[in-house]
């Protein structure tokens, strides 16, 4: 989670110079587009973004160049304002962006802790077990995993959804590389398409919703385009799927005690976040953090019953680097 959080922090900061309003009130906006500092800032941004794109080849985490670039750009912004005799606007803008970052971070912290707790309680492993043990045909598995990825991704992160469904495809497909390749591509497309019509499905939609640019129900206007975005490539790929019945796979995994309850607590937490944001006009992260507190209390109850290792939920809250970073990458 650390790398993703750092990258998000840097990106939010680097975008801060375009905000006209900050928590401290109205700020003076300077037009830096025709200045050499503005041009240099764009150049630095492009160079940092090129390093982000080349992460796979350079093995340099995207957060590192972006953080450095963001810091330099903010220095240029501060110099420009100071040269204009304004020593407060840059400071006010960066404070405003740190506040927005904190709200987003706390929201994601609660959501990822829930997802990791469900994973620890074998919720996703049990779902995979059911699918691989039912004896579905290859084409059925292709459509079932795609549909589940489309339906789960609006409330869970894309990476977890893709990993669970891809595990099903790989377990059923065996040595059939053609089926595995098409099935995994279908899952990634479905997970991204499904996340587009929900505030919780993608980091971008979450930021737009928290900012108040689009109301919660407004995202559902994208439902039909999202379905089309998944179905069109899925139908085309299904025409080239290999036929046949996969060999029987026996896998039995049971959800640990409390797993089903955690699912409902997660849904209730999301409902709280929406209610707090829409009805009470509070930041949605207040609802998410309240729900996280409820999860921790339930975790304490499970620990008293001997069904949860000590501090498991606390560990999930601070050890989701791979999952959280993947949510930004898929």
Give the closest residue to 124 by CA, choosing from 76, 157, 81, 80. 157
C-alpha to C-alpha distance for 51 and 305, rounded to whole angstroms: 50
* 214, 197 Cβ separation under 8 angstroms: no
pLDDT averaged over the chain? 80
Burial of 308 (0-12, 13-18, 19+ CB in 10 A): buried
Tokens matching residue 102: 């904190």
- Helix axis angle for 177-194 and 223-238, nearest 10°, is 170
The residue assigned the tokens 């059925």 is 140
C-alpha to C-alpha distance for 328 and 108, rounded to whole angstroms: 11
Phi, psi angles (nearest 5°) of residue 320: -110, 40
Tokens matching residue 164: 């669970």
C-alpha to C-alpha distance for 118 and 122, rounded to whole angstroms: 6
| pLDDT over 50 at 5, yes or no | no
Q: Ranked by mean pLDDT, which of 38-47, 166-175, 271-280 comes out on top?
A: 38-47
Provide mean pLDDT across the span 265-287: 88
pLDDT digits (tens, 9 = 90+) for 202-233: 777 888 887 778 887 888 888 899 999 999 99
pLDDT digits (tens, 9 = 90+) for 234-258: 999 988 888 776 665 666 778 888 8
Q: Give the DSSP letter of residue 242.
A: P
| pLDDT over 70 at 11, yes or no | no
Longest Cα separation, the chain? 74
Residues 6+ apart with CB under 8 A from 69: 10, 14, 44, 45, 47, 48
What are the DSSP calls for 15-61, one per residue?
A: TGGG-SEETTEE-PPP--TTSHHHHHHHHHHHHHHHHHHTHHHH---
C-alpha to C-alpha distance for 112 and 200, rounded to whole angstroms: 11
Is 0.95 surpassed by the pTM of this model?
no
Residue 111: pLDDT band with limits 50, 70, 90: confident
| pLDDT over 80 at 44, yes or no | yes
The residue assigned the tokens 């080239």 is 240
C-alpha to C-alpha distance for 156 and 206, rounded to whole angstroms: 12
C-alpha to C-alpha distance for 219 and 315, rounded to whole angstroms: 33
pLDDT digits (tens, 9 = 90+) for 126-174: 887 887 777 778 888 899 999 999 988 888 777 778 888 888 888 777 7
């Amino acid at each position: 989670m650390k790398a993703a959080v750092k990258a998000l922090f840097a990106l939010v900061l680097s975008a801060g110079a375009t905000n006209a309003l900050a928590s401290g009130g109205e700020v003076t906006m300077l037009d830096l587009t025709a200045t050499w500092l503005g041009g240099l800032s764009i150049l630095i941004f492009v160079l940092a973004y090129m390093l982000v794109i080349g992460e796979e080849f350079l093995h340099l985490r995207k957060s590192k160049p972006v953080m450095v670039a963001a810091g330099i750009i903010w220095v240029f912004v501060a110099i420009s304002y100071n040269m204009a005799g304004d020593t407060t606007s840059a400071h006010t803008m960066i404070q405003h962006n740190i506040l927005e970052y904190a709200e987003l971070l706390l929201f994601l912290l609660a959501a990822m802790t829930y997802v990791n707790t469900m994973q620890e309680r074998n919720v996703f492993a049990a779902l995979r077990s059911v699918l691989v043990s039912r004896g579905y045909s290859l084409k059925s598995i292709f459509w079932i995993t795609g549909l589940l990825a489309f339906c789960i991704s609006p409330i869970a992160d894309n990476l977890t959804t893709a990993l669970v469904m891809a595990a099903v495809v790989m377990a059923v497909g065996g040595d059939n590389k053609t089926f595995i390749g098409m099935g995994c591509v279908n899952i990634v497309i479905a997970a991204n398409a499904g996340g587009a019509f929900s505030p919780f499905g993608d980091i971008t939609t979450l930021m737009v919703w928290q900012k108040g640019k689009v109301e919660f129900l407004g995202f559902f206007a994208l439902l039909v385009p999202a379905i089309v975005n998944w179905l069109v490539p899925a139908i085309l790929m299904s025409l080239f799927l290999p036929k046949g019945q996969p060999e029987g796979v026996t896998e039995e995994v049971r959800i640990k005690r409390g797993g089903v309850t955690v699912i409902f607590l997660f849904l209730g937490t999301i409902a709280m976040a929406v209610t707090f944001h829409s009805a009470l006009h509070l930041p949605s992260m207040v609802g998410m953090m309240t729900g996280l507190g409820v999860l921790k209390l339930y975790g304490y109850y499970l620990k008293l019953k001997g069904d949860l290792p000590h501090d498991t939920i606390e560990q999930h809250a601070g050890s989701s680097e791979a999952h959280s970073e993947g949510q930004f990458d898929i």
